[in-house]
Amino acid sequence: MNPRPSWHALFAPLPADAVPRRQPVASPEVLATPAGAAIAGWEQLVLDLSAGGAGTRVVHVVLDGEGRPISASDMVFHRTGAPGSGAPGEPDMRAEIRQESVGGRFETDGSFRGTRWLTVGPEPVDDEPPDWESTPSEPSAADMAALRALVDEMLRRASGE
């Protein structure tokens, strides 16, 4: 299993060369509808970082029509252990799936309303349904400060500074 790089952790500093993609929040077909007109001009900044077999990290920021961040999330997904199951009579050697994330909305008063999640469980095999346990928690003040710093960094990089 490939080791995870230092940026492959929730709230970790981004790699120096990482630049987020800018894209609309919806397709042109949706934006052309009366309901879509309310979000015309909104965009999202997306940064997908792959650590190969060690997992993925996705940072996502939604900006309103004036370029203000209105929501953000940071998600890290990885597997631990050896993939596949053990031989009959031996312990199960399936990889464990682990996903950590925090995301939510920036309110007009400057506060943040969101949830931190931890999802853990064995990697499903064949057609078996996932047996994952997801635990929500209230983001801490440190989480919010780290997410705000990450949003600021995403905005800086997206503007080319």
Q: Bridge-partner residues for 105, per DSSP? A: 71, 113
Q: What is the pLDDT of residues 94-115, one digit of tens each?
A: 678 889 999 999 998 888 899 9
Residue 84 phi, psi (nearest 5): 95, 165
Other beta carbons less than 10 A from residue 77's beta carbon? 17
DSSP string, 106-160: E-TTS-EEEEEEEEEEEPP-TTPPP--EEEEEPPPHHHHHHHHHHHHHHHHHHTT
Q: What is the pLDDT of residues 12-60, one digit of tens each?
A: 999 999 999 999 999 999 989 998 889 989 999 999 999 887 789 999 9
Q: What is the pLDDT of residues 71-99, one digit of tens each?
A: 999 999 987 765 444 455 555 556 788 89
